[in-house]
Amino acid sequence: MKKMSKDERRAQLLATAWDIVREYGTDALTLGALAQRAGISKPIAYNHFQTRPGLMIALYEDINQRRLQTVAAALREVPANLADVAGALASAYMACHAALGPEWHAIGAALRGDAEMQRYQRTMIDGYVEFYHRFLAPVSPLRSDEVRRRCVGIVGAAEALSDAMVLGRVREEVAAGDLASLTVAWLSAPA
């Protein structure tokens, strides 16, 4: 049997960690449980993630990167105007959250209060703001700095709407429509 590269092993471990979270919840995700399920020794799991919060952050980050790639791919297929970009951005965002399910939010909740996770979440939100800005600034009549500032609020709205959607309080298409509408209204003309 071919030995896995470090990157291949990490990908395998993250997929296994996601399976554990989906089947048993975040409380069951430990480095020991991961090692056992993946058929490796505990030192290998510790070598990749060092701590349980490190494992959960790596899982969260991996999921987030895949989500951003999916959204970026969807945006490359739409006409370059504010309504179409906002609609595609909102639809792809909500579709990704719907596909992730409550596990995404459970991982974040399990790490609340962890300083490393708080730093990562801040970096992630800043990354979303830049991501939104990259696609929305070229199609908005507003100055770039104003679009970036408003993207902070749009990202906050996207997070709140996706939370409501995952909790079953709003349907996916309604959440996407509300986010697109808010984005268009806020980025259409100067205040």
Q: How many CA atoms within 13 Å lie on the side-chain side of 30?
A: 6
Q: What average pLDDT does range 178-191 have in this prediction? A: 90
Three-state DSSP string of 50-95: CCHHHHHHHHHHHHHHHHHHHHHHHHCCCCCCHHHHHHHHHHHHHH
| Least-confidence region, from 97-101, 123-127, 137-141, 176-180 | 97-101
Q: Is the pLDDT of residue 91 over 80?
A: yes
Q: Is the pLDDT of residue 82 over 80?
A: yes
Say if residue 161 is exposed, middle or buried (CB neighbours under 10 Å; 0-12, 13-18, 19+). buried
Selected residue with higher pLDDT from 28 and 189: 28
Q: Which residues lie below 8 Å from residue 72, measured CB to CB, with a gap of 6+? A: 131
Alpha-carbon distance of 52 to 191, in angstroms, equals: 46
Alpha-carbon distance of 117 to 122, in angstroms, equals: 9
Cα distance between the two ends of the chain: 63
Q: Which residues lie below 8 Å from residue 67, measured CB to CB, with a gap of 6+? A: 96, 100
Q: Which residues lie below 8 Å from residue 28, measured CB to CB, with a gap of 6+? A: 20, 21
| pLDDT on residue 138 | 96
Q: What is the pLDDT of residues 28-63, one digit of tens each?
A: 889 999 999 999 999 999 999 998 888 988 988 888
Q: What is the pLDDT of residues 105-120, one digit of tens each?
A: 677 777 677 777 778 8
| pLDDT on residue 190 | 67
Q: What is the pTM of this model?
A: 0.79
Q: What average pLDDT does range 166-191 have in this prediction? A: 92
Q: What average pLDDT does range 55-79 have in this prediction? A: 85
Q: Residue 178's pLDDT band (boundaries 50, 70, 90)?
A: very high
Q: Which residues lie below 8 Å from residue 12, measured CB to CB, with a gap of 6+? A: 4, 38
